[in-house]
Structure 1
Amino acid sequence: MKQEFNAAYWQERYLSNQTGWDTNGITTPLKDYFDQLKDKDLRILIPGCGNAYEAEYLFNKGFTNVFVADVAPAPLENFARRVQNFPKDQLLLQNFFDLQGPYDLIVEQTFFCALNPELRAAYSRKCAELLAPGGRLVGLLFDTTFEHDGPPFGGSAEEYRQYFEPYFRFVHFERAYNSIAPRQGRELFINLQKK
């Protein structure tokens, strides 16, 4: 029987601490990118946010329009306990494909690789739909294959390019130079601007 990666699946992963992707903090490539952002009014979405260390970092730096979305309640509850003054109406217990925009920035961190690969083209289309004109999709994608069945699901820059080209201008789409040690040489840093 084919595994469904639905809310119940992800909730169980969090409740049983099967969260090998969780780095227990913001990763260097995203921290370095966020440190360059000047406009604190940007409307930012972090889909498939998990424990949302990126949202915590942004919020603590004064970005108040950060929205986090996940299908599983456990990571959102973890985040709400950790960042108690974060606005509750910006915690979205929702499927990514049901979200509404517009956003200025979508942050990608281990959500794309958690989706069934059959949904990758739909993910790219939905990101473009959620972004305001000129908005950006920024983050990290695994540029590797995995020996186990996913998630995470791997892939390559060549594969990913075909999903994003119809909707985005490629500002940056290269191997990340500042990945955390376990992911060194296996991540692409992407900065894609909606056409």
Structure 2
Amino acid sequence: MKLSETFWNTKYKDQKTGWDLGVISPPLKAYFDQIENKELKILITGGGNSYEAEYLFSKGFENVFVLDISKIALENIKKRVPNFPTTQLLHANFFEIEDSFDLVIEQTFFCAIDPSLRLQYAQKMESILTPKGKIVGLLFEAVLNEDHPPFGGTKEEYLTYFQPYFQIVKMDPCYNSYPNRQGMELFVQLIKK
């Protein structure tokens, strides 16, 4: 299944953005609040309306980049956060980016790509992270859809993709999920080997 730019732009145009919480995800806010190094170069993949980027930027993190294949999603951020640097809104396919980052934030991107690309996702993450770089975020641990996003999965499945490339610091049930995601999320922290 090809999930194209048109597919995602249509979702935004038709306001079919059920994945969008409208606020920063509580587990990510808690994680961000304990980061001390504001110089980290951070990427938010499939960032969408990216309340996470807005929050980080408001807290003095100036090296935050939002990547999305949908131009509409990136325009939404520009409208909401007019002083967010336009050069840090990356309109691109994740699998084609060449830059490197210290930290990649995962929320609803992994579950949005076709499951056949999951190993490729892990490999690409390993290639764009700096030495000892991290992936931090949320993965669904639930049976979801088979023919359209969000695609679910299990911890056991995810470990097969990530263990070859990452030290698994944490991949545990999330205790502070947003109410409509309670019991469905794993909080993950992975460090590049």
Q: Equivalent residue for 1:162? A: 160
1:114 alignment partner, SS class? coil
Q: Equivalent residue for 2:35? A: 37
CA contact (8 A) 1:101 1:129 kept: no
Matched, 1:151 2:149: yes
Distance 1:42 1:146 in 2: 34
Identity of aligned residues (%): 52
Q: How far does residue 150 in structure 1 lie from its aligned partner after superposition?
A: 2.3
Structure 2, unpaired ranges of 5+: none
Distance 2:60 2:101 in 1: 17
After the TM superposition, which residues 109-120 of structure 1 pair with which residues of structure 2 at under 5 Å, given as runs?
Answer: 109-120=107-118
Query: TM-score if structure 2 supplies the norm length?
Result: 0.98
Q: Rate the CA distance shift 1:71–1:158 in 2: closer, same or farther, 3 A.
A: same
- Report Cα offsets for 1:24-69 as digits up to 9, x if no partner: 0111100000000000000000110000111000000000000001
After the TM superposition, which residues 4-43 of structure 1 pair with which residues of structure 2 at under 5 Å, given as runs?
Answer: 4-43=2-41
Q: Equivalent residue for 2:91? A: 93
- Report Cα offsets for 1:118-173 as digits up to 9, x if no partner: 00000000011000000000000000002563200000000000000010001111
Distance 2:124 2:93 in 1: 12
CA contact (8 A) 1:21 1:110 kept: yes
Which amino acid is the alignment partner of residue 175 of structure 2?
Y
Q: Equivalent residue for 2:79? A: 81
Q: Rate the CA distance shift 1:42–1:71 in 2: closer, same or farther, 3 A.
A: same
Q: How many pairs does the alignment contain? A: 193
Pick one of 102, 105, 110 that aligns with 2:103.
105
Structure 1, unpaired ranges of 5+: none
Pick one of 50, 55, 58 that aligns with 1:57.
55
Q: Equivalent residue for 2:189? A: 191
Q: Rate the CA distance shift 1:48–1:190 in 2: closer, same or farther, 3 A.
A: same
Query: TM-score if structure 1 supplies the norm length?
Result: 0.97
CA contact (8 A) 1:101 1:132 kept: no
Which portions of structure 1, spanning 4 or more consecutive aligned residues, are displaced by more than 6 angstroms? none
Which amino acid is the alignment partner of residue 177 of structure 2?
S
2:111 alignment partner, SS class? helix
Which amino acid is the alignment partner of residue 119 of structure 1?
L
How large is the Cα RMSD of the aligned pairs? 0.9
